[in-house]
Amino acid sequence: MGKRKVTEPTTRTVPDVPPTSNRGERPVTDISYVDAMAELDGIVKALDEGSLDVDDLADRFQRAVDIVEELDRRITANRVKIEQLAPRLRRLAGRDADRTDASVPSASDAFDDEPF
């Protein structure tokens, strides 16, 4: 018997994966919040159940990360908008409160200092 050549395992580098996969899925930026949450829920269930094929595992995990990042971006953007709009509504509600009976709650009563 001849000697077998022992080779060191090769290290594969994984390229950055864009927010869309090679599955023909829509970019996460094009999916509604509700649809993105439903897709994320499905991916998490498949991960929890161990029902994903090992060849799909990294792709599904990457898709889940992309969805979470996009949803976080949307929530943050909307929080900023609400924080910018809330003072305007408070001012308007305060102006209207001056014209109405003080015993009637105004729209500004619906807001605390923190919008969330």
pLDDT per residue as tens digits for the range 28-81: 999 999 999 999 999 999 999 998 888 899 999 999 999 999 999 999 999 999
Residue 3 lies in a domain: no
| Cα(64)–Cα(103) distance, integer angstroms | 50
Residue 85 lies in a domain: yes
Number of domains in the chain: 1
User: Residue 61 sits in which domain range?
Assistant: 28-97
Total-model pTM? 0.60
User: Is residue 7 scored above 60 in pLDDT?
Assistant: no
What pLDDT shows up at residue 52?
A: 87
Lowest mean pLDDT among 13-22, 39-48, 57-66, 100-109: 13-22
